[in-house]
Structure 1
Amino acid sequence: MATTLICLLAFAVSFDKAQFLALLKTPQRQTGVLCCALVMAILWQVKAGILPFLDIHILAITAVTLVLGWRLSLLSTLLASLLHYAFAESSIEFFSFWLLTGIIPVYISYALFAICYHYLPRHFFIYIFVCAFICAGLVAASKIVLTSFYYWSLGQYDWQTLQYNYLFYSVIMWFPEAMLNGMAITLMITYRPHWVRTFYDQEYLDR
């Protein structure tokens, strides 16, 4: 129940009437949200894991957040989570899955982007290597750490089991996550910069 309330509150905070009305009126935005949801849902199917509830997979959340912005990214992760549950068996309760795999990573991704935007030089390579590459790796590691704490707090697993069977993947998964997100953002801001909501030509290129 608490997880459900947290998810609904986090999604309610993201609601912006003007932005969602623009989404309804703009087919290109609708396509972007749906395509991102489909890509995430497919990537989440390619997973590994030793124990129930503790799946390991590519998130792609950081790239989606940079492309759509945090508000539409939350909507996209909701659609991806629904697709995941519609076409794949999952042992994790829906709202727990959406919270740990979608909502929290989106908030972390956007918070890291905001920190980079305000405190680091606004440069093309800063955007690629810090906002996309490094931040994506941090998000992947954070997701595994937070998931470990979540199931430890529920008493589902003891800490030693989590440490040796799941938590150590935070060291391994950061690089493929960082590489995939970094490559995706590099391609998009090179060939379709207008698709990336958080990339501003006049700030990142005129330097």
Structure 2
Amino acid sequence: MATILFSLFAFVVSFDKTQLLTLLKTPQRQTGVLCCALVMAILWKIQAGILPYLDIHILAITTVTLVLGWRLSLISTLLASLLHFAFAKTPVDFFSFWLLTGIIPVYISYGLFVICYQYLPKHFFIYIFVCAFICAGVVAACKILITSVYYWTLGLYDWQTLQYNYMFYSVIMWFPEAMLNGMAITLMITYRPNWVRTFYDQEYLDR
């Protein structure tokens, strides 16, 4: 019940009436949200893991957050989670999966972007290598660590089992996650910068 309430609260506070109305009136934005959801659902389906509940897969959350912004990203992760549960058998309940795989990574991704935007020089390569590459790796590692703590508090696994069978993947998974997100953002801001909501041409290119 706590997971359901926290997930719904984190989702509800993201609602912005203006953005929602714009989304409903703009087919291009609807296409972007649906395409991001489909890509995430496919990537989440390609997973590995040693123990039940402890799956390893590419998130792609950082790219989606940079492209859509955090509010629309939460909608996209909701759709991706629904697609994942519609076509995949998983022992994890829906709200736990959505919270750990979608909501929390979106908040972490956007929080890291805001920190970078406020305190780092606004440069093309900083956006690619820090906001996309490094932040994506950090998000992937944080997701694994937070998931470990979550299932440890539930008593599903002891800490030693989590440490040696799941948490060490945070060291391994950060690079492929960072590489995929970094490449995706590089291609988009090079050829379609108007697709990336958090990339401001006047600030990052006029230098």
Give the percent of matched residue pairs that are identical in Structure 1 and Structure 2. Answer: 84
Counterpart residue number, 2:197 = 197
Counterpart residue number, 1:8 = 8
The secondary structure found in structure 2 opposite 1:80 is: helix
Counterpart residue number, 1:177 = 177
Report matched runs for 1:36-115 at 5 Å: 36-115=36-115
- Distance in 2 (CA, whole Å) between partners of 1:39 and 1:5 is 27
* Letter of the 1:171 counterpart: V
- Distance in 2 (CA, whole Å) between partners of 1:103 and 1:22 is 22
Counterpart residue number, 1:24 = 24
Give 1:183 shift: 0.2
Counterpart residue number, 1:159 = 159
Report matched runs for 1:114-129 at 5 Å: 114-129=114-129
- Distance in 2 (CA, whole Å) between partners of 1:153 and 1:88 is 26
* Letter of the 1:124 counterpart: F
Runs of 4+ in structure 1 deviating by more than 4 angstroms, as ranges, are none
The secondary structure found in structure 2 opposite 1:125 is: helix
- Distance in 2 (CA, whole Å) between partners of 1:149 and 1:133 is 25
- What do residues 147-195 of structure 1 show as CA deviations (whole Å, max 9, x unaligned)? 0000000000000000000000000000000000000000000000000
Give 1:115 shift: 0.1
In structure 2, runs of 5+ residues without a counterpart are none
Number of residue pairs the alignment of both structures matches = 207
Q: TM-score, normalised by structure 1?
A: 1.00
- Distance in 1 (CA, whole Å) between partners of 2:109 and 2:182 is 13
Give 1:9 shift: 0.3
- Distance in 2 (CA, whole Å) between partners of 1:25 and 1:148 is 41
- Distance in 1 (CA, whole Å) between partners of 2:91 and 2:172 is 23
Give 1:125 shift: 0.2
* Letter of the 1:94 counterpart: F
In structure 1, runs of 5+ residues without a counterpart are none
- Distance in 2 (CA, whole Å) between partners of 1:97 and 1:87 is 14
* Letter of the 1:49 counterpart: G
- Distance in 2 (CA, whole Å) between partners of 1:190 and 1:91 is 40
Counterpart residue number, 2:139 = 139
- Distance in 1 (CA, whole Å) between partners of 2:170 and 2:159 is 15
- Distance in 2 (CA, whole Å) between partners of 1:134 and 1:57 is 17
